[in-house]
Amino acid sequence: MSRLARKFMVPAFAALAALAIGTSSARATFTITVTENGGPTIPIVDGGPLDSDGIINGQINVLTTGLNPLLTEYNFVSLGGTSTLLTGTPGSNDLASVSQTGEVQRLLPGGSGTSITIVASDTGFLFPAGNPKFLIEAASDTFRNTVGGDSRNFSSLFNSTMTTLLVFVPPTGSGPFGSSGGNITPLGNQTTPFDLSNTTVISLGGTAPSGIGSDQFAGASTVVSVPEPASMALVLLGLPALVLGRRFRRRNAA
């Protein structure tokens, strides 16, 4: 697809995404956005035109056949995410969580310096109500066919509070190179409602001698209200397993 065609298609999808929010439930706020090399942002709304099931249910499974033609240098094998906004009980101490998972390839060689950004976000969480609150993040990657400069950064945002950046830099080679990490950020006493999001920035140099460079990635940002350090430790130990489980959701071939 030419750059001219993409120039008009990206705003068209943005308009359809806005229409999906405006004509659906007011709680349909879970969104994944994709931005390639600082270009136009492509919004993918829960239940919108690029969500395969077309239902507002806190789950997005992206129609990659609709997304990939809007991109120039990257290609998604799969992309999706979840939010607990619709499943938690307002005023309870249920976990508030937003996640993203997928696999992306770099189609065109060109060295480091080019990237693709994926943001999963939801607004208006009314739980957990208890204090103090903590923001727990966990992320994992599997790189293949890497060249120098390949990387993935992952960060989370609670309202205006950002967590410590998680950085994954694979060695050069055919791989696969797997890595994972986590972080806890104390938030203190916080009121509801609040917004929660996470951001992935992936840089792939392109085609290595062994094949096309790719990154299979996952990340989750979870707000908890845990009164005891021992309970906090249990939550942190369980979260990476949750992220790893989501990595192996079926790939969307639609």
The residue count of the chain comes to 254
For residues 119 and 3, which has the higher predicted lDDT (pLDDT)?
Answer: 119
pLDDT score for 239: 53
| 41: pLDDT strictly greater than 70 | yes
Span 32-50, average pLDDT: 95
Listing DSSP states for 62-90 in one string gives B-HHHHGGG-SSEEEEEEEEEE-TTTSPT
pLDDT score for 116: 96
Average pLDDT, the chain: 83
Span 245-254, average pLDDT: 41
Ranges of each domain in the chain? 3-247
Query: What 3-state class would DSSP assign to 251?
Result: coil
124: phi > 0 → left, psi -120 to 50 → alpha, else beta; which?
A: left
Q: How far is residue 62's CA from residue 213's CA, in Å, rounded to a whole number?
A: 21
Tens of pLDDT, residues 59-72: 999 999 999 999 99
Decide: 192 and 126 in contact? Cβ < 8 Å: yes
Decide: 95 and 89 in contact? Cβ < 8 Å: no
| 200: pLDDT strictly greater than 80 | yes
Q: Which two tokens stand for residue 145?
A: 């066919």
pLDDT score for 56: 96
